[in-house]
A and B are shown apart, each in its own frame.
Chain A
Amino acid sequence: KQEVTQIPAALSVPEGENLVLNCSFTDSAIYNLQWFRQDPGKGLTSLLLIQSSQREQTSGRLNASLDKSSGRSTLYIAASQPGDSATYLCAVTGEWGGSEKLVFGKGTKLTVNP
């Protein structure tokens, strides 16, 4: 059974700081890994999707890396801003149980203080 763990559960940083969020998964037979952002009481917005054959993806101040063999991914946020405050969720897909579904971690709640 695929399990996804995110560390830390919560993180508070001052504005401008660079930070790293961590995600680990137990079954390396994934199709891809995705990082989502979720604002309080809202749905999920996809930030970056890394295919299993890729090592990293970048979008603006965000960079996500994937080490499939070790079951780890990191999301790097450069020059954090108060608007980055949200919960960040990591999810993987793979053919578990014969279907393709997203398996999520519990998320990291990020607070960026002005």
Chain B
Amino acid sequence: DTGVSQDPRHKITKRGQNVTFRCDPISEHNRLYWYRQTLGQGPEFLTYFQNEAQLEKSRLLSDRFSAERPKGSFSTLEIQRTEQGDSAMYLCASSSTGAFVGELFFGEGSRLTVL
């Protein structure tokens, strides 16, 4: 197992364009999380899936953001009509139901730059 995989690692886009990030969790993990980290800040929670069900969305996740996990495996995070304020590192993490609360395994992140 190679851990949590995220793609692309870097994305540069112009304001107003749509972008999509993909996360492949550790294969036996049924929980998947998205966090956002801006420069000089700690990661902030965006949303959380258990299997294919999206159980929680942060108020940070505006209506321009949508996350899916169609078959309970990989997940996508789409940002529509990107704004400069969306520039950040988008981190995906996964865990298993039997793990300690907060025992998450993070991917390397997808860095978004909006020009």
Contact = CB atoms under 8 A, between A and B. Distances in A.
Interface residues of B, number: 27
Interface stretch (A11-19, A38-46, A72-80): A38-46
A99 B55 contact: yes
Interface in B96-112: 100-109, 111
Most A CB contacts (10 A, CB to CB) among B35, B43, B44, B48 go to B43
A101 B103 contact: no
Given A104-B42, A104-B43, A44 B101 contact: no
A69 to B, nearest CB: 20
Contact of B45 (A49, A51, A101, A105): A101
B91 interface: yes
Given A42-B109, A43-B108, A44-B91, A100 B42 contact: no
A43 B56 contact: no
A102 to B, nearest CB: 5
Contacts of A101: 33, 45, 48, 56
Contact of B56 (A32, A49, A51, A99): A99
